Amino acid sequence: MFTSGFFTRAGQGDSNIIERQRRGANRVCITPSAAPFKWRAARAAWQFMKKSKENSIRLLLSFFSLGVVIVLSACGGGEDSSTTATPAPMIDPLPPDRQIFESVELQGGETTLNFHLHYGGGRMMTGADYIYANFSGGLPASPASAGPQIETPVLKALVSGFPLPSNTPAPKRYLSSGSILVRSPTANRRVSYTAAGIQLELFADDGASVVQKTVEKNFSQTALSGNLSAAPAELLAQYPLDYWQAGNNLRAGAQWETGAVYIKRATTYIGDSYMVQDCFVRTTNTVGPAGDQPTPCYSGKTLTSDGVFPINLYSSGGDWPNEHDEQGDGTITRINGVNMWIANAALPLETNPTEARRIYFELKGNVYAGVLITDGTPFNMRQTDGSVVSYSIALNSQAVGSIQASLVSNPAGAGSKAGAIRSAANTVDLFGIGGGGINGMLSPADLRQHYNIPTWLDGTGQIIDIINRPSAADFLDDINTFSQQYNLPQMALCDATHASACLRIVCTSSATTGSDCSAGSTMAGGGSGSASESTLDIQMAHAIAPKATLVLVLASGTSKTNFFDAVDFAANKLDAVPTAISMSHGFNLSTTTTPSTAVLDGKFQGYVARGIALFASSGDAGNYGGRIYCDSTSTTCVHYPAVSPFVTAVGGTRITSVSASGAPGEQAWQFTGGGIGLAAMPSWQSTYLTASNDAAVMTANNRLRASPDVAAVADPAHSAIAVYRAQKWWPGGGTSAATPIWAGISALLAQSMASNGGNSLATRIQNAANGGGFASLLYGAATSSSIPSLLAITVGNNNLTSNSACAVCASRNGYSDLTGLGVPNVMRLLGNVNGRISAVK
């Protein structure tokens, strides 16, 4: 019989045979004309043999003889029966993946772009704005015929006269064979072909050690033509050429060169990769050392030393921890002679889009941090627009040349900041909770569904003031792009009528003076971080109360006094009294600080007397030693204004299912602030705790003001809310998100009361028992109703200081210092606050 190996084509059968064929061994060179003839002859012989038993042996021998002739003829060792000429050899074509790969790599190499351009375009500045290309280097020959090939990547600035940025790109560090090795972006890589696909081996800077292996497959190639800014959405998600053109950094009408293409492929890791990262375990240690060595978590300690675990990780320069690891969350093992702690569970995909596990390891007297990516893990990529996809994109030389030839570094006209909505197709669901936003993040509809907000409530006629530090951004463009994505009302800048669904931005200079400033303010140190906070607050309030008037009141500086002056201005000096004031910042204050909590409490009491609902975030750093967080060494400060007895303190949760409410679909966020305040527990809080038999909570809080009062979603790692800012989707979270959500809910309650007659929400706040304002209404509703409108959260812990028990750090039935009374069921809350139990579901 014929053996299939003789006729194996590239991409079928054994890959080793394929490679031998391409190097000339056992090569199959059947001509198109000869092969069908000989196949037909063989088939005829077989059919005749079946009909003639007498000649079966003879025909069988003829059959095998014919087979040998076919092989010899095909390889040039014999003559065809129809001609005496030697047939021309035919080399099997490459499989499609290799064809696409080589079409780029043998023509100068593939390219990815790195860029940082000013939001909205404008003049590029050396050292601040840049765009450069990372060329793979190209293949000198095909790995199919010449074996594995070495490539040397090249970095090249694309703007004439601009050097490469001095700090970009950063080298990566790997743990390999008991040493930390560095790989720069220009270090070599080796390319070879295997049965699995195109294999890439990345070398460290020593040129000999392979620190990572991957395999690429499932290639596709898309030709580019016409206007650069009209490229497919999947390419614009990575390289926003339309934004660059709108910002005048890309010449209007620029066209793709002939032959321009981009390629897309999937990547999988081969073997385990141990990547080393800087480790910041406290806010005072946020500066990495010079050189290539990473910042260790600890020096002079081992993984089992006292005080190593639990480990709280901070970002460089960050004020709040973003990861908390207990020793029991992982297993200590020995890998290649190194003691290593490996987490039992993968990091959240929002933290690391490619699945990875946290590691800590001992080396030369230090404890370092890193991540482990295990063999067979698929690579996920975060794109420029914030989406995460399971593929990567690269450009060929003609595509890069098209962009370079069209770049404008010093445009004559100002750029545009207008946002746009891109397709969210093929994005990776990072959360798996049923979110309808990009990457599976939460959308406004998800929030309204989860918290049971009736469709007929939209905040019409209500005003929400949002207090923030100085910041500047195109807030109107951001919120309208956000609204376009989620079918919410478009906003306009407010005029004198304060129409519904309008946005007003006020910059204050004191507690009594301020003026409208449509783009915000950057005075006294305000920056991108503050702008992100303002954008988050605006969009969360708009998501819950889409037709409410929003007023962003910006402080004149970053000090505590500046902030509370802005609050005073919002409550007393605007031309309309707000329904609610949302404060997503907090400070460590006491009765002796300036300003003091006693002075500020007096002012807040005056705001309540005007009927304003006050909300403040409880903080994003868990619980330290029973006190509400202010820094890692203090035990006497609190997160103010959350602990004021006239303010509703808002904690944070993690949503585990959009479709479920309360405890079945939510748990406490591990970094939610909460704990013991300084002032005496207000009577409206102690009355509820006494009536609900929560004496243990009162004791644990030393009969002092406990915080928070309520909660809402805040976990950006496991249940982020999709927020749009500066032409990019971001994961929103923190108690900074939960606070304007609750301010929006209060606006819905006010709207409902206004439409149903009777006392307004402002009147109810003014008449609240014991002067507690909106918070006391919530405690009263929780006490009097048998149908709960605030759903207790019973899972979660925010103890960040030790492995021992903490009386106010664990979730429980009833009130807890993590999530207060719980999260809202707004439909029920309408009835309970109004005393109309029959109206609830």
Q: pLDDT by residue (tens digit) across 753-803?
A: 998 776 899 999 999 867 789 999 999 888 776 788 999 999 999 988 766
| Residue 748 covered by a domain | yes
Number of domains the chain contains: 4
CA dihedral 449, 451, 456, 458 (to 10 degrees): -110
DSSP state of 554: E
SS3 of residue 534 by DSSP: helix
Whether 625 and 606 share a structural domain: yes
- In angstroms, the CA 834 to CA 164 distance is 64
Whether 487 and 586 share a structural domain: yes
Contacts of 686 (CB under 8 A, 6+ apart): 698, 703
Whether 366 and 395 share a structural domain: no
Four-residue CA torsion sign, 117, 385, 253, 265: positive
- In angstroms, the CA 21 to CA 462 distance is 77
Residue 216 near residue 101, CB atoms below 8 Å: yes
Q: Which two tokens stand for residue 672?
A: 């939610």
| Residue 793 covered by a domain | yes
Environment class of 51 (CB within 10 Å of its CB; exposed 0-12, middle 13-18, buried 19+): exposed
pTM over 0.85: yes
pLDDT: is 152 or 74 the higher one? 152
**Amino acid letter, residue 507:** C
Whether 541 and 641 share a structural domain: yes
Whether 363 and 387 share a structural domain: no
**Amino acid letter, residue 521:** S
Q: Which two tokens stand for residue 163?
A: 């050097």
Whether 263 and 281 share a structural domain: no
Residue 522: the pLDDT is: 67
pLDDT in tens, 156-190: 999 988 988 876 778 999 999 999 999 999 999 99
| Residue 596 covered by a domain | yes
Q: How far is CA 576 from CA 507, 580, 600, 601, 687, in A?
A: 16, 12, 22, 22, 34
Place of tokens 């605006």: 538
The CATH number given to whatever domain includes residue 452 is: 3.40.50.200
Q: Give the pLDDT band (50/70/90) at residue 811.
A: very high
Whether 576 and 713 share a structural domain: yes
DSSP state of 3: -
Peptide bond just before 489 cis, omega within 30 deg: no
pLDDT in tens, 390-431: 999 999 999 999 999 999 999 988 888 888 888 777 899 999
- In angstroms, the CA 661 to CA 718 distance is 16
- In angstroms, the CA 342 to CA 332 distance is 6
Residue 694: the pLDDT is: 83
Indicate whether 4 pLDDT > 50: no
| Residue 119 covered by a domain | yes
pLDDT in tens, 84-104: 444 444 344 679 999 999 999
Whether 243 and 320 share a structural domain: no
Residue 167: the pLDDT is: 67
Whether 246 and 352 share a structural domain: no
Whether 770 and 639 share a structural domain: yes
| Residue 423 covered by a domain | no
- In angstroms, the CA 489 to CA 497 distance is 18
Q: Please provide the average confidence, as pLDDT, over all residues in the chain.
A: 84
**Residue 829 domain boundaries:** 438-839
| Residue 418 covered by a domain | no
Whether 723 and 619 share a structural domain: yes
pLDDT in tens, 595-639: 998 999 999 999 999 999 999 999 998 885 445 544 444 444 568
Per-residue burial over 795-821, b if 16 or more Cβ lie within 10 Å, else e, is bbbbbbeeeeebebbbbbebbbbbbbb
- Choice among 38-47, 337-346, 524-533, 640-649 with the minimum mean pLDDT: 38-47
Whether 63 and 124 share a structural domain: no
| Residue 262 covered by a domain | yes
| Residue 422 covered by a domain | no
DSSP state of 118: -
Q: Report the DSSP beta bridge partners of residue 198.
A: 193, 216
